[in-house]
Structure 1
Amino acid sequence: MTSTATTPRTRRPGVPGVRGVHHVAFTVPDLDEAVAFFTGVLGAETAYRTGPIGDPGGDWMRRQLGVHPRCTVHIAMLRLGPTLNIELFAYSGPGRRRRMPGNSDVGGHHLALWTDDFDASVRHLTAAPGVRMLGEPQRVDDGPIRGTRWVYLTTPWGLHLELVHAPDDLPYRRRTGVRLFEPPAPDEPYAPDDGRGP
């Protein structure tokens, strides 16, 4: 007699029910400036804006968001490219540090953008008012991502961006079945199971 029971798939470690990243978020000094940059320079689309959100007489902002109770916030949610949602926060109120963290600071961060045309992307971004390129474009000559081109830039308010382009034959792929996500080509629809996903 044969069994009709199916063997359960081996469950990978992780949070039950979580299928992916919904969004990344950045706090910016001026919401209008940041939305204009993300939409006008990077090509994002605005899904919605909301605010002010606050609790003038209570403790909700501290309990829920970990900020000073008298803070208020305006929020914009944007869509950038085929898979990335970006949430922008602009706070007002006491207790805010106004200096962006450096890359070596705890909490330092950057937003890396994949490009199919590295040189054209560098020209476009460096032509935008207030954008500054850090150093010169680099090419990785050795190691697991040999052949990758990259450069860091800063937005007008100091957020670090990175432009990245990598060849199809990255050396790390010969040592593991794990594949880093790369956006599909413009004429190629995104399919989560096409081998480009995590």
Structure 2
Amino acid sequence: MYRGIDHIGMTVPNIEVATNFFREAFDVKVCYDAQRPEHDPMKGEEVEKQLGLPSGKIIIHMRLLRIGEGPTIELFQLGTKADKDPAKISDLGLHHFALYVDDIKESSKRFEAAGGSLLSEPHPLAGVEDGPRNSGVYGTTPWGSLIELIKYPDGIDYPSESEAKRWSPPKH
């Protein structure tokens, strides 16, 4: 019945700046713009109801991006000020997405060269994700959203009670 995650939505202050960051950091490809800034903005009671927007908020630009073999990222740009800063792990709700990478050192360099900031050096994974070559690192985009880079070529030590294995993008 359910096939998997189709896309992840993210509000950004400027879609062109965000697209350039994602292009430089992760080699994204633009799928299409669902809402263009030169068109009338998405606004009003019906849009507010459909998207759970507070009264008076408008959407001026929406773009879908594709990174590798994962779900699409749908970017939203409001024509009004965002309500708060990007979510952190300590906040309720969605706060980050992770990209599986083959070379974490090179991916980290590209992330920083594109304008992102790593929160630490790449580090070993822990618990069932531990393995000699398994590692991860969190970083923030230029506008403050959290992204994780991760790799686990040595696999996961699944507990016997696991009901499913973790989905991983196919190797190219």
User: TM-score over 0.5 for the alignment?
Assistant: yes
Q: What displacement does 1:149 show?
A: 0.5
Q: What displacement does 1:100 show?
A: 1.5
Q: Secondary structure at the match of 2:169?
A: coil
Corresponding residue number in structure 2 for 1:134: 119
Q: What is the CA–CA distance in structure 2 between the aligned matches of 1:22 and 1:91, rounded to whole Å?
A: 22
Corresponding residue number in structure 2 for 1:82: 69
Q: What is the CA–CA distance in structure 1 between the aligned matches of 2:7 and 2:86, rounded to whole Å?
A: 20
Corresponding residue number in structure 2 for 1:34: 18
- Structure with the bigger RCO (C-alpha within 8 Å, sep 6+) is 2
Q: What is the CA–CA distance in structure 1 between the aligned matches of 2:27 and 2:153, rounded to whole Å?
A: 24
The amino acid that maps onto 1:19 is R
Deviations 1:39-82 (A, max 9, x none): 23211111111234323xx4122211111343221100111111
Aligned CA distance change for structure 1 residues 69 and 135 (closer, same or farther; 3 Å): same
Q: Could you say what the CA RMSD is over the residues aligned between the two structures, in angstroms? A: 2.1
What TM-score do you get using the length of structure 2 for normalisation?
Answer: 0.85
What is the aligned length? 165
Q: What is the CA–CA distance in structure 2 between the aligned matches of 1:174 and 1:145, rounded to whole Å?
A: 14
Q: What displacement does 1:177 show?
A: 6.1
Unaligned runs of 5+ in 2: none
Unaligned runs of 5+ in 1: 1-16, 187-198
Aligned CA distance change for structure 1 residues 169 and 31 (closer, same or farther; 3 Å): closer
- Indicate if the aligned counterparts of 1:48 and 1:76 stay in contact, CA closer than 8 A: yes
When structure 1 is superposed on structure 2, of 28-37 and 96-105 the one drifting more is 96-105
Q: What is the CA–CA distance in structure 2 between the aligned matches of 1:98 and 1:18, rounded to whole Å?
A: 32
Corresponding residue number in structure 2 for 1:20: 4
Corresponding residue number in structure 2 for 1:192: none
Deviations 1:93-115 (A, max 9, x none): 36x31411222011351120101
Find out whether 1:182 has 2:168 as its counterpart: yes
- Indicate if the aligned counterparts of 1:114 and 1:182 stay in contact, CA closer than 8 A: yes
The amino acid that maps onto 2:72 is N
Between Structure 1 and Structure 2, whose CA radius of gyration is higher?
1
Corresponding residue number in structure 2 for 1:3: none
Q: Secondary structure at the match of 2:158?
A: helix
